[in-house]
Amino acid sequence: MFRFPLRALPALALCLTAAFAPAHAAEPVFHNPLVQQRADPQVSLQPDGWYYYTATVPEYDRIEIRRARSLDDLGAAPAKTVWRKHATGVMGAHIWAPEMHRIGGKWYIYFTAGSAEHPWEIRLYVLENASADPFAGEWVERGQIKTGWESFSLDATTFEHRGQRYLVWTQTAPDGSKGTNIYLAKMDTPLSIKGPAVLLTKPEYAWEKVKFAVDEGPAVLVSHGRVFITFSASATDENYCLGMVSAPAGADLLDAKSWTKLAEPVFRSSAKNGQWARATIRSRRHPTARPTCWSTTRATTARSRAIRCTTRTATRARRSSAGARTGCRISASPWPTRPGNPPVALPSGTLAM
């Protein structure tokens, strides 16, 4: 998440992870940024051929959705408000990080909210819509997702793996210790979890504890025989970065020993490229014959390393191209953008998976 009083909401950028993509494949060109003045973006491509999009709005007071036939058209697509915060009580403040999922023939939006009287009493909530079209039907409040203990919690996402649905989210520890951690649990319904939660990661390295001890914003990608979960870490300024944990696809995901955590971030600020606070990724597979996935992310290009009111909405997009099944080679070539935002040279290196 990107939360401080003088923030300018970062825009939506796009990065492409293409596994074994042939050298002759044409590179698409996207508006840069795709969608302005939105944080915590989430996009899913559904069987009906539409890209469905939702994100945090600057006012923190409602949930909007939009759709388009292509990623590049999302910025121009009309937004529909499907729910507004309460005037009093729970779900009355800080409406953050919505995610829309199609589960069992219904639509669900998982989101974060505080109460009107106590805005920082942040919890997880769900909306449900039984219509086949999320722009039709009625979005019904289905209440809070109970995680097993009551504390500051946010950024819920869900995925299905080998016939079992899971919830992944951010929460402070049951013992009240400082910092936010990432947890995972099985779901018995789209509205609830069953059994104890497993701790996937907590702030332990220096890059996770700059100014604040933060692991948050989990995102899931299953690929190359592994389950990858990225997360955002540290203060929401130029120190904000992306870490990653992963487990073999056939492992017991509720066994903490199944998960391996990288000792360094997979994305971090780059003074050379003028890229700051690259964090919060949402990955979705692209429906081609090749194993290609798109990852939407928030990124900020700032005039100074202190991302305050000098923040610009212009962002850059990055491309990474998978090499062997055990690694990801970050391409050194620029990503094509629309006029007005020139391409940026990318760093090179190898990321072990």
269 versus 135: the higher-pLDDT residue is 135
In the prediction, which pLDDT does 270 show?
83
In the prediction, which pLDDT does 26 show?
60
In the prediction, which pLDDT does 279 show?
54
Give 194-224 pLDDT, tens digit per residue: 989 999 999 999 999 999 999 999 999 999 9
In the prediction, which pLDDT does 28 show?
64
In the prediction, which pLDDT does 98 show?
97
In the prediction, which pLDDT does 27 show?
63
Phi, psi of 228 (to 5 degrees): -100, 135
pLDDT at 283 over 70: no
Average pLDDT rounded to a whole number, residues 323-339: 30
Q: Which of 67, 54, 59, 134 is nearest to 97 (CA)?
A: 54
In the prediction, which pLDDT does 324 show?
25
Mean of the per-residue pLDDT values of the chain: 78
In the prediction, which pLDDT does 320 show?
27
65 versus 301: the higher-pLDDT residue is 65
Average pLDDT rounded to a whole number, residues 319-333: 26
Phi, psi of 161 (to 5 degrees): -145, 120
pLDDT at 130 over 90: yes
In the prediction, which pLDDT does 329 show?
25
* pTM over 0.75, yes/no: yes
Domain boundaries, the chain: 35-276
pLDDT at 64 over 60: yes
Distances in Å between the Cα of 256 and the Cα atoms of 25, 35, 73, 188, 214 are: 39, 37, 41, 20, 19
In the prediction, which pLDDT does 347 show?
37
DSSP 233-294: ES-SSTT-EEEEEEEETTS-TT-GGG-EE-SS-SB--BTTTTBEEEEEEEEEEEESSSEEEE
Average pLDDT rounded to a whole number, residues 321-330: 26
87 Rama class: left (phi>0) / alpha (psi -120 to 50) / beta: alpha
Give 168-197 pLDDT, tens digit per residue: 999 999 999 999 999 999 999 999 999 899
pLDDT at 17 over 70: no
In the prediction, which pLDDT does 9 show?
32
51-56 vs 276-287, strand pairing mode: unpaired
Average pLDDT rounded to a whole number, residues 236-263: 96
In the prediction, which pLDDT does 353 show?
39
pLDDT at 5 over 50: no
How buried is residue 4: exposed, middle or buried, by Cβ count under 10 Å (0-12/13-18/19+)?
A: exposed
Q: In what order do the strands lie in the sheet with 260-261?
A: 215-223, 226-233, 241-248, 260-261
pLDDT at 116 over 70: yes
In the prediction, which pLDDT does 271 show?
82
268 versus 62: the higher-pLDDT residue is 62
Catalytic residue annotation: 40, 216
Average pLDDT rounded to a whole number, residues 281-300: 45
> Which helix H or strand E contains 54, and what residues bound it?
strand 51-56
35-276: in CATH 2.115.10.20: yes
In the prediction, which pLDDT does 91 show?
98
Give 20-46 pLDDT, tens digit per residue: 334 445 666 777 778 888 999 999 999
